[in-house]
Structure 1
Amino acid sequence: MLVSTKWLADYISIKGLDPAELAEKITRSGIEVDAIIDRSQGMKNVVVGYVLECKKHPEADKLNICQVDVGEEVTQIICGAENIAANQKVIVARPGAVLSGGIKIKKAKLRGEESNGMICSLQEIGIEGKLVPKAYADGIYVLPSETQTGADALEILGLHDTVLELGLTPNRADAMSMLGVAYEVGAILSEDMKYPEISYNSSTEVAENVLKLRVEDLDANPMYVAKVVKNIKIGESPLWLQQRLMAAGVRPHNNVVDVTNYVLMEYGQPLHAFDYDRLQTGEIVVRTARQGEKITTLDNQQRELQAHHLVITNGQEAVAIAGVMGGANTEVHEGTTTIVIESAYFKPASVRQTSKDHNLRSDASSRFEKSVDPNRVIAAAERAAQLISELAGGEVLQGSVMVDELDKSQKEVIVSPDFINNRLGMKISFEEMTSILSRLKFEYEAANGLLYIKAPTRRQDIQIEEDIIEEIARIYGYDEIPMTLPEGETTPGGLTPYQAQRRIVRNYLEGAGLLQAITYSLTSKELAQAFALETAPITELLMPMSEERSILRQSLVPHLLEAATYNLARKAESVALFETGSVFLGETSEGLLHEEEHVAAVITGKWLDHSWQGERKTVDFFVLKGIIEGLFLKLGLDKLTSFEQAQVDGLHPGRTAKIFLADKPIGIIGQLHPTDQKKRDLKETYVMELNLAKLLTFSLEPLLYKAVPRFPSITRDIALVVERAKPAAELEKVIRGAGGKLLKDVRVFDLYEGEKMEQGQKSVAFSLTYEDPQRTLTDEEVVKTHSKVLKALEIEGNAQLRG
């Protein structure tokens, strides 16, 4: 809501407060002021000029040489606007003037002719193009002929004004009008407001004799008021009305439409004007639409209606979508002479659904959706009739055509002062409470230690005791609520074991050099099951925003790959990302979504390896595998996990493995398939995904600490020749099985596949550590155990000692 402080002053005295002070008081009372807008923007030396003469520039077809009276003198100004002409009152920026954006105006020569200033459009003095009347959208603005030459143009245009932009919450629909804001400011400043005086002369002709009204759906439209105004003359609105609309963010059109918009902003009650002659039938019927019925709205869009949409008709065809937008077939135009002013109360749910169905949101619908004041429906219609009578020369027919089944009673809330103070934790006197209620214009009675409060109908948000408490607290001042320490027993906060473990995972991956990403949970059908650890029936949204965001994901990898592509396309040399998040695997037996938390990562480009003295090397399979192994070690699961070569759709067939925890699959690791890499415009890229929920809920044996060994260990290194396809993990398993209790550690430290090896073979070197914590081992004991290991490798592992 945009609130002009000059317009606001028509209804309430702001006691000489400057806009910043007023904004501070409004914000402290509960309505946030998002911005304070100075409409003059520091502009100066902008005056009203009178064009005495206008002729074509001899050296430029699109320029005109104008002789302009600026009050003190007649000066020459070159102007390129198509609508410039003699005998116009225009906006002139004199030499030395400062315009919107800090633009300074100087004397200049254009094609050899002197120009002493500039004739301005509204856009050039800081008014948004969307707010400029269409007649002046592509040219200069022409002021009314009676405007005084040489006067301050900014004053004439109402730009010496400050606009407050209110950030309203949905419950404060009452502040979506100037009168609503005036009530609010009046309560804050303890000032009484001035209501607009409505007075006009009616004709002897009765409105009910020329217009018939029937409402078929009283639930959706319990109140409808129509007034008829004849003999109007369509034209431009007076400057004061145009400037107030522009200050409120509304574009002026013509005097009739501008009046309906003005009353909308003033009262918060949406109005609509129909061309009476275009109605053709002299009748208005409010009904639900016929399925498939069509209407062309004022935005020139043809819209298909559904059976639950409420429409205004002439008894035959729809002429407006109730509460949302009027129809083009009854639009007020230059030839209009008789109008019907509509003021109504439409059920909020009906308007909200219709607006949503058509993806059409208007100033009217935004107010009807939140419920308008039922006691302003008639007053707004009367106010519009008065202004149209004054500004368009209209003759208002006697009376109104009306259907009224609307409940206009005030909501009563009963609350005790003690209850209010108890909830606020303070001591506000009874007199202060009743003073605040009076300032808010809430009717009340005090009896038996209780307050019987009637909230005005403009405050539809006041329903329960807590609403009254909030009103008293915010007007009294939130800053006045004393600070106190909590009393009573407290429960110390903390993380659950799962949360603590998850934090360890995130901290470890960040420490390993990966950055955390957060991607969409929604994906496309094409990617929904890509890279999934286990697949399930997909879960599709009923009303997706787009096809790309229509399915709940079953893997984190696809969107991480999209993030990698996005970053590399923006000159990132390397990308290392991880994400912890949920995947969705169909429904449970109770009909709920089966949701699991996973962790996934993607790395590509160069990797900083501290074991290489801080050098960066190209990412490979073992970089990511090492990160995963480090994570398992951090979680105490390193002895229970293993990797096995596997085939996974979308990953390189020779550089992919499944990850097992206690012999059960828990994740995957591998290189993105070269075809997919090329498609995504990625370098060599590696991904992994683990079932984090299973990982962190795995039951471990209690950790037992052992004393530091007192006796030396003995190390034996062996190099084994095996088939190239033989995994080192299988050989390690054989070694551990044969080594018995004396074998304490096995580590791979070399792999050779060079020219000295036979075709199809490789050399894998292991370091074996033997140790007995109770005594020093003898060479004979080590040789005996080591021989068993070598024999097992030969028989079970089909391996031979190299050299």
Structure 2
Amino acid sequence: MLVSYNWLQEYVDLTGVSAQELAEKITKSGIEVEGVETLNDGMRGVVVGHVLECEKHPNAEKLNKTLVDLGDGNHVQIICGAPNVGKGQKVAVATVGAVLPGNFKIKKAKLRGEESNGMICSLQELGFEAKLVAKEYSEGIFVFPEDTEIGQDALNALGRADQILELGLTPNRADCMSMLGVAYEVAAILGKDVKLPQPKAETTSESASDYIKVSVDAKEDNPLYVAKVIKNVKIGPSPLWMQARLMAAGIRPHNNVVDITNYILLEYGQPLHAFDYDRLGSKEILVRRAKQGEEIVTLDETKRTLTAEHLVITNGSEPVALAGVMGGANSEVSADTTTVLLESAYFTGPVIRKSSKDHGLRSEASSRYEKGVDPERVRPAAERAAELMAKYAGGEVLESSVEADSLTVGPAVVSVTLDKINSVIGAELDMKQVEEIFAKLQFETSVDNDTITVTVPTRRGDISIEEDLIEEVARLYGYDNVPKTLPIGASTPGQLSPYQQKRRVVRRYLEGAGLYQAITYSLTSREKATQYALEKREPVQLAMPMSEDRSLLRLSIVPQLLEALKYNLARQNDSLALYETGAVFLKAEEGDLPEEREHLAGAVTGLWESHPWQGEKKPVDFFVVKGLLEGLFAKLGLESRISFKGAEIAGMHPGRTAQVSLDGAVIGFVGQVHPKVEKDLDLKETYVFELSLKALLEAETAPLQYTSIPRFPSITRDIALVVDKEKTAGELQEIIVEAGSKLLKEVHVFDLYEGERMEAGKKSIAFSLKYFDPEKTLTDEDISKAHEKVLQAVKEQAGAVLRG
């Protein structure tokens, strides 16, 4: 809502309160003022001039040479290119030395050999938005009314010596979508009175009921409809002050009748509509729901098809307006209109919102009806508009109004105790203070002991319960005045739990390794719900699923990550590494909520390393992903407790998949997706993993201990063991670690040989063993003793022999 500071002063005495101070007070009372704009900020030197002579420029076809009277006998020559400039006009002239928006300074100039001492201005050049300028002046200069005084400040005449407060209203404060509503609010804040308009138009002896009959079929949608008739109107421009106020509020002027309806919309918050009575086609107004498939051409020249959910104003047979949204082109006020039928009605919000939404017509009128208008202003708004039409359009107002009235809306009556007010606010107000606050709001009150009963005016439809009354007391008492208190009791500083800290470590590690975090749906299809599940259970079915593809809760994260890879690969993003930490859902006993367990999953495809300049490309493989996990386990201090063992898992490659165990308990898997699954999903070679993050992060770990840098050298021994092809490197490594003495510090595989020189059914696996004693230099005897134990253990437990 854009509020003119000057206009507001007509209703509330703002003496001694600047626009900026008022904005701060309104904001502190609970309605945010998003900004204060000074309309003539930085502008000066613009006056009203009178064009005494106008002729074509001798050296330019599109320019005119004018002689302009600036007042006090000061005549200047100005060259003007506007197509609508002419002799006898009153225009806005930026004199030499004037400053226009954008710090544009006016200087003497010569245009095609002719001197120009100033500039005749359009409204756009004076800071008006182009969309707000009346159509007749949108392509040229603005022409003032003939009675405008020459030499006066043109910005003042155009209402630019004003400041505009932009209110950021919440939906419940529909009462402030009008100047009178804002006036009530400001008067309450400042402790002032509100000066309301007192409309009283002289009427003719003819009665409006002789011209029009009003009936309403849809009484629930339209409980009150008021019609007035104004004869002998003369369509023309509205007064300049009214045009200026409309433009400052963001509304484009049209003509005196339409501008008056828009002016009342801003002043009272009550939408009005003016029909051309002679084009109405009957002497009847019937308000009803539209017929299915019925059509209307609205004022924007668009044909709209209606449904039975839309409310229309008809002439008894055909629609002439889409109620509360937009009028029909068949009854539009035009230049030859002489009799106006004025509509002022109370429409309920839902039906207007439906019409507005269905037709994409969000208007100033519909927005007010949607949020709720004051039923007590329907009649006064019509009277005020009729008065202005008589004054500024020369109309004759017919006696009385024609109404269809079934309205039962009345003031709300709400009670609250003083104790409740003080306990919620945290203040110590007495009943007198509370009564004074409601008096400022112009709410009627009555007090019975500790209880105050408030009769809330219909303009404040947002107040219906005692909490609403408490809010009114708090904001007008002043939030700044509420005593400050500290919390009572012991306070604990916020911090991450050990689980949360470890989860952050996991995420940072994976992101540092080059994986992107993904967030996928927890809902999946029946086909995918049990794929790759670490624990097989019946999936949880949703009672009201959005679709079959999102009807069950997932048991694994991997299927969703594969879908993400498929989506990216289809868009030429062919090298991708994703991970996700999220919940899977395990079905519990009947009637119980499912158990949520947090898992960690990843999916990697394409090139893991690409250095085109060096000609290096490394596609992802099993050992890249296994290495990622080993680095993660080391980061968590669990590397010595983790083991990998080949496994066959549905949907995974049978020879490139391993289960992951922690202290002997299986916690997940890692490996390549089965080629058939890859083909079905249009994926290239893809590797995935999924682990129970809960098991990883809740595992107890010894406190981190640092050791000094070794003073003594280590010794490395390499061994190549010939074993059966079925034996895995992991099994051999476990035997070596277990058999090695405390001197054995590191063991890793560095070679595998299965060539033609190896006997059938055998293979050679080479290990590197590092021995080291932090207390002394090892001797050959020490190493030999420890190494012999290792060789003996692999021979006895795995049938391994040293390769010759």
Q: Where do residues 27-42 of structure 1 align in structure 2 (5 Å cutoff)?
A: 27-42=27-42
Deviations 1:735-762 (A, max 9, x none): 3257545487765475799x9999xx99
For residue 3 of structure 2, what is the aligned residue in structure 1?
3
Post-superposition offset of 1:37: 0.5
Q: Aligned with 1:432: secondary structure?
A: helix
Corresponding position: 1:311 with 2:312: yes
Counterpart contact for 1:211–1:283, Cα < 8 Å: yes
- When the two structures are superposed, what TM-score results if normalisation uses the length of structure 2? 0.80
Contact 1:44/1:98, CA 8 A, preserved across alignment: yes
Asked if the contact 1:605/1:685 (under 8 Å) is kept, the reply is: yes
Question: What is the percentage of aligned positions where both structures have the same residue?
Answer: 48
Q: How large is the Cα RMSD of the aligned pairs? A: 5.2
Structure 1 762/788 Cα, relative in aligned 2: closer, same or farther at 3 Å?
Answer: closer
2-structure distance, mates of 1:559, 1:41: 54
Correspondence 1:81-120 to 2 at 5 A: 81-120=82-121
Q: Deviations over 1:560-609 (max 9, x none)?
A: 999999999xxxxx9999775689999x9989999987767899999999
1:779 to 764, 780, 784: 784
Matched, 1:448 2:442: no
The worse-fitting range, judged by mean Cα deviation, of 657-666 and 347-356 is 657-666
Name the residue aligned to 1:156.
157
Aligned to 1:64: 64
8 Å Cα contact 1:230-1:395 kept in structure 2? yes
Give the secondary-structure state (helix, strand or coil) at the position aligned to 1:419.
helix
Q: CA deviation at 1:778?
A: 6.6
| Alpha-carbon contact 2:350-2:370 (below 8 Å) kept | yes
The structural deviation recorded for 1:192 is: 0.3
* Alpha-carbon distance in structure 1 between the residues aligned to 2:737 and 2:45: 96
Q: CA deviation at 1:668?
A: 7.4
Correspondences of 1:175-186 after superposition (within 5 Å): 175-186=176-187
User: Which aligned pairs between 1:299-698 and structure 2 lie closer than 5 A?
Assistant: 299-487=300-488, 499-509=500-510, 512=512, 555=560, 621=620, 626-635=627-636, 638=639, 639-640=641-642, 642=644, 663=666, 665=668, 694-696=692-694
Residue 143 of structure 1 is matched in structure 2 by 144
Measured in 1, the distance between the counterparts of 2:343 and 2:477 equals: 40
Q: For the structure 1 residues 83 and 561, does the alpha-carbon distance in structure 2 shift closer, same or farther, using more than 3 Å as the test?
A: farther
Aligned: 1:46 with 2:46: yes
CA pair 782-451 structure 1, distance change in 2 beyond 3 A: same
Secondary structure of the residue aligned to 2:61 is strand
State the secondary structure of the residue aligned to 2:105: coil
Q: Secondary structure at the match of 1:101?
A: coil
Structure 2 Cα separation of the partners of residues 599 and 433 of structure 1: 58
Deviations 1:684-727 (A, max 9, x none): 99997757xx423568554467999999997543468999xx99
Amino acid of the structure 2 residue aligned with 1:421: N
Per-residue deviation, residues 158-216 of structure 1 (Å, max 9, x unmatched): 11110000111111111111001110110111100100120111122211222122211
Please name the residue that 1:19 is paired with: 19
User: In structure 2, the residue corresponding to 1:62 is in which secondary structure?
Assistant: coil
Native 8 Å contact 1:421 1:427 kept in 2: yes
Counterpart position of 1:612: none
User: How far 1:343 sits from its partner (Å)?
Assistant: 1.4
Structure with greater Cα Rg: 2
Change beyond 3 A, Cα 1:434–1:767? same
Q: Please tell me whether the aligned partners of residues 207 and 399 of structure 1 are also in contact (alpha carbons under 8 angstroms).
A: yes
Q: 1:153 to 1:557 in 2, by over 3 A?
A: farther
Aligned equivalents of 1:456, 1:597: Cα separation in 2? 55
Is the Cα contact below 8 Å between 1:751 and 1:762 reproduced in 2?
no
Equivalent residue letter for 1:736: E
The one-letter code sitting in structure 2 at the alignment partner of 1:241 is: M
- Partner amino acid, structure 2, of 1:267: Y
> 1:230 deviation in Å?
1.9
After superposition, give the CA deviation of every residue in 1:333-358 in whole Å (9 maximum; x if it has no partner).
22222222211111222222332333
Structure 2: distance between partners of 1:296 and 1:593: 56
Contact 1:296 1:302 in 2 (8 A): yes
Report deviation, 1:414.
1.2
**Alpha-carbon distance in structure 2 between the residues aligned to 1:55 and 1:478:** 65
Gaps of 5+ in 2: 534-538, 548-556
Q: Which residue, 717, 723, 730 being the options, matches 1:732?
A: 730
- Tell me, yes or no, if the aligned pair for 1:519 and 1:559 is still in contact at 8 Å: no
8 Å contact from structure 1 (residues 536, 585) kept in 2: yes
Matched AA of 1:25: K
* Contact 1:739/1:789, CA 8 A, preserved across alignment: no
Q: 1:521 touches 1:553 (CA, 8 Å); kept in 2?
A: no
Name the residue aligned to 2:241: 240
Which residue type is aligned with residue 33 of structure 2? V
- Distance 1:735-1:59 versus aligned 2 partners, 3 A rule: same
Does the CA contact (< 8 Å) of 2:521 and 2:560 recur in 1? no
| Structure-2 separation of matches of 1:433 and 1:655 | 81
Contact 2:606 2:619 in 1 (8 A): no
**Counterpart contact for 1:131–1:250, Cα < 8 Å:** yes
The 2-side partners of 1:37 and 1:687 are apart by 60
Return the letter of the residue paired with 1:120. Answer: C
Structure 1 range deviating more: 27-36 or 735-744 = 735-744
Report the AA paired with residue 21 of structure 1.
Answer: E
For residues 276-335 of structure 1, what are the alpha-carbon distances to aligned partners after superposition, in whole Å with 9 as ceiling and x for unaligned? 223212222111222232333323333332322222222222222222222223222222
Relative to 1, partners in 2 of residues 1:440 and 1:55: Cα closer, same or farther, differing over 3 Å?
A: same
Letter in 1 for 2:475: R
CA contact (8 A) 1:312 1:319 kept: yes
Partners of 1:216 and 1:592 in 2: CA distance:
51
Deviation at 1:478, TM superposition (A): 0.8
Q: Are residues 486 and 750 of structure 1, via their aligned partners in 2, closer, same or farther at CA, if it must alter by over 3 Å? A: same
Contact 2:155 2:161 in 1 (8 A): yes
Could you tell me how far apart the structure 2 residues matched to 1:336 and 1:522 are? 64
Of 329-338 and 380-389, deviating more is: 329-338
Larger mean Cα displacement after TM superposition, 732-741 or 597-606 = 597-606
Which amino acid is the alignment partner of residue 10 of structure 1?
A: E
- 2:523 and 2:41 map into 1 onto residues whose CA distance is 46
Name the CA distance, whole Å, in 2 between partners of 1:218 and 1:330: 23
CA distance in 1, matches of 2:592, 2:365: 41
Distance 2:90 2:264 in 1: 29
The equivalences for 1:263-302 within 5 A come to 263-302=264-303
* Distance in 2 separating the partners of 1:540 and 1:468: 42
Q: TM-score, normalised by structure 1?
A: 0.80
CA shift in 2, pair 1:283/1:52, >3 Å = same
- CA gap 1:28/1:771 in 2 versus in 1, 3 angstroms: same
- Alpha-carbon distance in structure 1 between the residues aligned to 2:546 and 2:89: 60
- Contact persistence 2:270–2:344 (CA under 8 A): yes
Q: Which runs of 5+ in 1 are unaligned?
A: 543-551, 569-573, 610-614
Q: 1:785 to 1:96 in 2, by over 3 A?
A: same
